[in-house]
Structure 1
Amino acid sequence: MDVADPRRLALVRQRESQRNRIGIIIIIVNMINLRHSAQEVSRRLADRVESVCLRLLPGGSRKGAEWLTGDVQGGQGQSLKVQLSGEHAGRWRDWAEEGRHGDLLDLWAAARGIPLAEAFREAKEYLGMLGPEPATASPRKYQAPPVREQAGVIPVAEEGVVMRYLQLQRGLDPAVVRRFGVEGLPSAGALVFPCHAPDGTLVNRSYRTAPGPNESGLGARKRVWQDAGCAPSLFGWQALPKSAWEKRTVLLCEGQIDAMTWTQWGVPALSVPNGTGAAWIDHEWDQLELFDHIYLSFDMDGAGAENANRVMQRLGRHRCLLVKLPHKDANECLLQGCTADDAEHWIAQARPPQIHKLLLGQELHQRLMSELEPKPEPFTLDFLRVAWPHQGFYFRPHELTVWTGAYGQGKSTFLNFVALNLLSQLSHTGVFMASMEMRAESTLRRLTTTYFQEPATPPHAVTFLEKFGTRLVFADVVGYISQDLLLEMMMFSFQRHGVQHFIVDSLMRVDGLEEEFAEQGRFMNRLQEFAKETGTHIHLVAHPRKSASGQRQDRLEIKGSSLIANNADNIVAISRNPEKDALRRDNKLTPLQDASLHDTEIRVEKQRENGWLGMVPLKFFPRSSWYEKAS
């Protein structure tokens, strides 16, 4: 078979598509595998707390709602208690040993005598949460930091130039500096920040020149670097207090001196390596996975915000909280006189990143109070009003109404009647009309005729425009209009002319929607978003599928995607009275029947707010295009 054979090409493309789908599935599985937080693992362990107790503390026993044993090794006694039920299920405490408490993940580590990271991995395996191994390249190999000649290094314990600089020029407590093990390297005029793994192993060193008096031996020009080939690790694991692990909470900042500043204020902190790369996240992932709450205190500038955003995307926005400072960074705040009380306030005010349109219920308090207030009756036509608010049909703000009905049944004529009543009854409301099936001046002539209930004349037109001309806005387009242009016109009309009602006639005159069902759904979403954000009402004409002559159409027969009906707040169908039309066609309509039978039917097929549905019979006066309720 020739390579260019269409069937072979189709088979090749099909196989490539299958491989692509498989690749995407692998990526998704790996993402899910990596996104399990310590909080989630702990919660799932609590769901099977008694089984976990049997596994970790087999020497204990159940008594009431608690599992009792002597200690984390399962010894004799009842001082260690694990809650088996209720909102605190999985929490434990050893009353015979101060500070021995936590959740089941802590218990797993304590009972096994292993680091928390290893307990986390074992617990995930026990829960079946590990999934397949990530399909990634082999992990990068890093070398150990070089051995330094001790003669060339100045330990901080000697209270030398390093300590003087950090204490006098950066405001740091000597005890905090010693806790982080900072050293000096006079040959390079630099500070040395040793980076340890949580188990104490030295994995890297960061260097930073620092300005100072010439006699100090420290360089005057700032420069940063690291030991070549070593792991890009976080600085400060060796100084992290036990409480950070117990609370699963830590702060990340952009500088070693800032990390020491936060620690001095009583906030456990780590510093990211120099630069804005993210290789350190891959290296430290297993350790950071154990923290449910990660505060980010990056520099208060554009670069800091960008760096924080990149870190949040990798670590997971759900567990990150952004800290806002009054100055560029933590150490500058310290030098400006800020205290531990200030730091406590900044931490308390830290907030998770804003996800567009995502709100907590408590953030909706004012909107809920407004929602609960009695609402004034919105505009409606007299013959559509029954009993506000539960019966009848109303043109509420923030809603989208779809008008449907077969060709020639009077949809456009009725919407002209609605527009005229809006202008007449609401003195401050503007109306936007996009009737791509008719010229703007023709629509204006019909509105004038309906208003005066007689054929329009030039004097009528002058009077009509004087009365309503500044509140009536037209899209001067015949044929097709793009979504973007239509919505741009609508937004301008809302902002500049105070338009509250938008009439779009019709959906199929919006370019690109005729046979594109998915695009129809997206357009409906855009209209809904517009109505909800502006508090306006949108009237959209949607034609029905072809049906037998004289047959009434309903919401299920709208032409196009089902998303049109699904995304509408209201659906109203307009049709002539088929029985009366049949009599007229057969020349059997008597004057008595003409007077007694209604001409038009308005059927409310959907109304999301109050659920009221119904049919309203109307009399139609062709000379003026006026409607009245049939008796």
Structure 2
Amino acid sequence: MNGVVIPIITPDSFDFRAYMAESEPKAKVLGADTWRNALIESVRSGDKITGARLPWPSTYDNLRFRSGEVTLWQGINGHGKSQLLGQACIGFANQGEPVCLASFEMKPVSTLKRMLRQVAMNDRPTEKVVNSLMDWAKGRFWLYDQLGTVKPEMIYAVIRYCADKLKIKHIVIDSLMKCVRGEDDYNGQKDFVDMLTGLARDLEVHIHLVHHVRKGENEEKVPGKFDSKGSGAIADQVDQVLTVWRNKKKERAIEVMLRQQMQIDDETRKKPDALLICDKNRHGEWEGSTALWYHPQSLQYIGDKRCVPTNMVGL
């Protein structure tokens, strides 16, 4: 990707001091008439579901991502939650809702390489696709570049900067444990997530928070919202809880078949490679799971057992 630039936000490239200070106090006691237009719009919309969509049509009528909310993306380490969320973010950006991805566990170029394969639909993208992706990303996609631990006040400043100056609508924080002192710092976790929910509401952005769950004795067991590492207040405070789970049992079965030079039977093949589970949906009635199949060459998750990758951005 030499010579090709995608917007990178670093602690040194911008003066965040102004954004670290608390904003001017706003009057919180307002006349009911303040919400007249919002209430009229809610009546006009009726039960119509609104917000940014995920890449899988089966989720369109069940799960959306609206401004002013926080979604917790959780999963066992190595189950693909960051990769799946990255694919979702490509979809958000392509719907005209700009994204900033702040990964404290992965260098920007590694994130972009993964993103490149997802839009190229294969594992050998050309330089032409690189340039097309970079052109597409202008005004749609930003990366915050800082590895390791980060102080909550910096996250506060970055989110405010992204919303104010860049008009970003989706902000990914990957992951929670890089922003608090430890798994047993329950007050720190509660305060941090409380800060995120307040920022999302006040700035009208959607914040996606990545978090790990306890591995447990059996990785084949699908974790729930109460399996998050740390404080139970994390799931309580957010608007949506999504769990990403890989079907390790299927992976092991296929590995045995291949080792024994056996044909993979249809029953095994049609089982999903992963599940995206909605364990909490504060502003919607639906809770359930979506079956996904994994295409390793493109790093895409597909909502169809035929497992054909999709052209996500029309490159």
Q: Give the TM-score normalised by structure 2.
A: 0.79
SS of corresponding position for 1:542? strand
Alpha-carbon distance in 2 for matches of 1:493, 1:421: 19
Contact 2:57 2:303 in 1 (8 A): no
Question: Deviation per CA, 1:13-63, whole angstroms, max 9, x where unpaired?
Answer: xxxxxxxxxxxxxxxxxxxxxxxxxxxxxxxxxxxxxxxxxxxxxxxxxxx
Would you say how many aligned residue pairs link Structure 1 and Structure 2? 273
Q: 1:508 to 1:369 in 2, by over 3 A?
A: same
Alignment CA distance shift 1:537-1:363 (3 Å) = closer
> 2:167 is matched with which residue?
498
Contact 2:53–2:60 under 8 Å retained in 1: no
Q: Which residue of 1 aligns with 2:197?
A: 528
**Would the alpha carbon gap of residues 629 and 571 (structure 1) be closer, same or farther in structure 2, given more than 3 Å must change?**
same
Residue 535 of structure 1 and its aligned partner are, at CA, apart by 1.6
1:350-374 Cα deviation digits (max 9, x unpaired): xxxx995234546544443343331
**Secondary structure of residue in 2 paired with 1:433:** strand
Which of 274, 299, 304 is equivalent to 1:625? Answer: 299
Aligned partner of 1:408 among 70, 74, 78: 78
SS state of the match for residue 573, structure 1? strand
Question: What residue number does 2:264 align with?
Answer: 591
The amino acid of 1:616's aligned partner reads T
Q: Quote the residue 2:51 is aligned against.
A: 378
Question: Which residue number in structure 1 is paired with residue 289 of structure 2?
Answer: 615
Aligned to 2:234: 564
Please give the alpha-carbon distance, in whole angstroms, between the structure 2 residues aligned to 1:382 and 1:472.
17
SS at the partner of 2:265? helix
Q: Over aligned residue pairs, what C-alpha RMSD do you find? A: 2.3
Q: Please give the secondary structure, in 2, of the residue aligned with 1:572.
A: strand
CA contact (8 A) 2:101 2:171 kept: yes
Distance 1:458 1:386 in 2: 33
Matched residue, 1:574: 244
Counterpart-to-counterpart distance in 2, 1:606 and 1:554: 10
Query: RCO (CA 8 Å, sep 6+): is it higher in 1 or 2?
Result: 2
What CA distance in whole angstroms lies between the structure 2 residues aligned with 1:537 and 1:506?
Answer: 16
* Alignment of structure 1 residues 73-88 onto 2, 5 Å: none
- 1:515 is aligned to 184
Q: What does 1:342-353 align with in structure 2 at a 5 Å threshold? A: none
**Deviation at 1:386?**
5.3
Aligned to 1:421: 91
Match of 2:13 in 1: none
> How does 1:531-546 map onto structure 2 within 5 Å?
531-546=200-215
Structure 1 CA distance for aligned equivalents of residues 44 and 58 of structure 2: 21
Which residue of 2 is the match for residue 106 of structure 1?
none
Q: C-alpha displacement at 1:629, in angstroms?
A: 1.2
- Deviation digits for residues 182-234 of structure 1, max 9, x if unmatched? xxxxxxxxxxxxxxxxxxxxxxxxxxxxxxxxxxxxxxxxxxxxxxxxxxxxx
Q: CA deviation at 1:387?
A: 6.7
SS in 2 for 1:442: helix
Matched, 1:451 2:124: no
CA contact (8 A) 1:384 1:393 kept: no
**Are 2:142 and 1:469 aligned?**
no
> Contact conserved, 2:75 with 2:223, CA < 8 A, in 1?
yes
Other structure's SS at 2:145 match: coil
Once the 2 structures are TM-superposed, how far is the Cα of residue 483 of structure 1 from its aligned partner? 1.0
Cα deviation, 1:314-368, whole Å, max 9, x if unaligned, reads xxxxxxxxxxxxxxxxxxxxxxxxxxxxxxxxxxxxxxxx995234546544443
**Inter-partner Cα distance in structure 2 for 1:362 and 1:470:** 35
Instruction: Give the drift of 1:604.
Output: 0.8
Distance 1:417 1:355, change over 3 A: closer
Bigger radius of gyration: 1
Specify the SS of the correspondent of 1:474.
strand
1:47-196 to 2 correspondences below 5 Å = none
- Distance in 2 of aligned mates of 1:430 and 1:400: 16
Contact residue 433 and residue 503 of structure 1 kept, 8 A:
yes
- Structure 1: how far apart are the matches of 2:49 and 2:265? 41
* 2:212 match: secondary structure: coil
C-alpha distance after superposition, 1:451-494 (max 9, x if no partner)? 01123343322221111133211110111111111121121112
Unmatched 5+ stretches in structure 2: 1-24, 306-315
Q: Is the 8 A contact 2:58 2:303 kept in 1?
A: no
The aligned residue for residue 431 of structure 1 is 99
